[in-house]
Amino acid sequence: MKYTTLPGTDISVSKICLGTMTWGEQNTEAEGHEQMDYALAQGVNFFDTAELYPVPARKETQGATEKIIGSWFKKNGNRDKVILASKVAGPGYSNKHIRQTGFAKEAIYEAVHASLQRLQTDYIDLYQLHWPERNTNFFGRRSYVHEKKEVWEDNFGEILGTLRELIKEGKIRHVGVSNETPYGVMRFLEESRKHDLPKMITVQNPYSLLNRVYETGLAEISMREHIGLLPYSPLAFGVLSGKYLSARPENARVTLFPNFNRYSNARATEATRSYVALAEKNGLSPAQMALAFINRQPFVTSTIIGATSMPQLKENVDSIYMELNEELVKEINAIHEQFPNPAP
C-alpha cells in the first residue's frame, strides 16, 4: 500500500480509502465486516462513512452503515488501527427523515453524538459537511443559478466555531467539506484565517474520467492551499468498469436503482466505450486504469473506492500498484478532449 498524510497533519492515511455507503442496503453486516477485514489486511487504514448512509437514503436504513462499522470495532478492538471519516448531512431532499435544521450548532452536535454512538467510538478523525446549505451547483447540477429568494445567510464562521468546540472536546480531530464549490472552500479558508478557526483540510467531491470538473477551479485551490481531494465515485458508479456496456448486471447499483443514472447518458456511454477500449488495447483492467489515473493526480490525497463484492474490492485496492506511462495518459487525455466531462 502507498501512504500519505492528511494535509497539514501528521496523520498517515492509505492512498486508497474504503468507501462504505452500500453497507446496510446492498451489503449485509457480515459482508461489511469481510470488506473491512480484507482492506485493513491490505494496508488500507482510511475508512469513509456518513450519518446518511446507506444509499439510497431511507428512514428505515439511515445510520445502518455506521452501526456496521461500530460492531466491527467492538468485535475486533481495533479502532486505533483506522483513520475514520464521517459526515453530517446538510439540508436536502434526501435527508428529510434526519433533520432540517442545517448546520446549526445543535444540529451538528446532535449528528456527531449520534454517529459516535453508532460507530462505538469516542472520536472521529475527519468530520465533513456532506453538502452545502446554500443553493449552489453541487452533485449533478452543472450550472449555478442564483435564487433571489434564497433564505440562507452566510454562516461559514458560525459553522467553524461549532466545529472548533467539538475539536476542543476531543470528539473530532479535523474537518473537511463534501460536494463543495470553489466559492465555499475559499469562504471557509477566509474565516479560518481571519478568526483562527479550524481549517478545512479535505474536499470530498466526485472525480472520475467522466467528470473532471474538479480540475477547473478546485484543483488549483487544493495545490495552493494544501487541501486534499478525496474523490468519490472514481468509477462513476461502476460505469467505467465497462460492465454496463452490454447488459445490466443483476444486483449492480445502476440496475437496482435506475435513478442513479448521472453517468449513463449517451455521451458518457460513448466516452466509457473509448476508455474501456483503450484499457483493453493495453492489456489493462478498465476499472484499474480509471482508478490509476485518479490515484496519480497531485491534488488527490486518497481515492475512495467502494465495492459490493470481494472480487471488485480486490481489483480496486490493487489499482494502487498500477503505474500509467505518459503515452497512455496522453491517450486518456485525448479521449477527454473528445468527450469533456460528459457527466455532471
Residues assigned a catalytic role: 53
Residue 83 CA to residue 15 CA, distance in Å, equals: 12
- Among left, alpha and beta (phi > 0; psi -120 to 50; other), residue 12 is beta
Indicate the length of the chain as a whole number: 344
As a whole number of angstroms, the longest Cα–Cα distance in the chain is 55
Give the position of cell 474490492. Answer: 313
Residue 146: count other Cβ atoms within 10 Å of its Cβ.
Answer: 7
Question: Using CB atoms within 10 A of its CB, is residue 43 exposed (0-12), middle (13-18) or buried (19+)?
Answer: middle
Residue 202 CA to residue 128 CA, distance in Å, equals: 8
Give the position of cell 472525480. Answer: 207
- Residue 344 carries which side chain, given as an amino acid letter? P
CA distances from 214 to 97, 133, 304 (A): 30, 20, 15
Give the SS3 label for residue 275: helix
Residues 168, 170, 176: CA angle, nearest 5 degrees: 80
Pairing mode of beta strands 12-14, 46-48: unpaired
Residue 25 CA to residue 17 CA, distance in Å, equals: 20
CA distances from 272 to 42, 282, 289 (A): 29, 16, 12
